[in-house]
Amino acid sequence: MKRIVSAVLLCSVISGVGAAQSGGPAQCSPASFRGLKVGKSTRGDVLRTLGNPEARAREEDTGTPYWSYTVGDPAPGWLMVFIRKGHLTGITIVLKTPLNRDRIIGLYGPSLLTVHYDFEGCLGSGGAGPVYVSQNGPIENWEYRGAGKGLVISVHDGLAQEIVFECGPEGPSHSRCGSHMQGSHR
């Protein structure tokens, strides 16, 4: 499940789906990491701020290139930065040790939303398809959508696994599939 959620989040980070479909306040913008901002910072900014990456790799499910770094803040983990055409297009922190809700609130404040998603069964394949907001969906995120505080936190078993610097929601507020095909978990 973690790999599926990661694939969904990475696809939306790279494509900008979260920001484009947010439907939320126009002032929502991704939080910055050490002054780096998705969509604003350049490859040079990343190198000046973070130095040379420890590794250069490609995301397993999508093949998207990224650089990785080991970080200690906001919590220990692995930072993945996605750069396309010389600009920073995504930032994700994969947490070394999952964090509980209280710890996330301590880091980013109390204004988080708990949002559930389900897969668009008729539109995707292989577990990396698009999602929609669903009250009973199997995917849980904690999301911050305020100005300069756009974060999507991937949750599994009640613990934060990844922090993605983008604005939610990850998909539309309803399924684009007919009711007979909604969700792949049914």
Q: What is the 3-state secondary structure (H, E, C) of 97-165?
A: EEECHHHHHHHHCCCCEEEEEEECCCCCCCCCCCEEECCCCCEEEEEECCCCCEEEEEEECCEEEEEEC
What pLDDT was estimated at residue 64?
A: 83
* Residue-range domain boundaries for the chain: 2-35+91-181
Q: What is the pLDDT of residue 18?
A: 36
Q: Which residue has the higher pLDDT, 99 or 119?
A: 99
- What is the tens place of the pLDDT at every residue in 107-151? 999 999 999 999 887 776 555 678 899 998 999 999 998 877 889
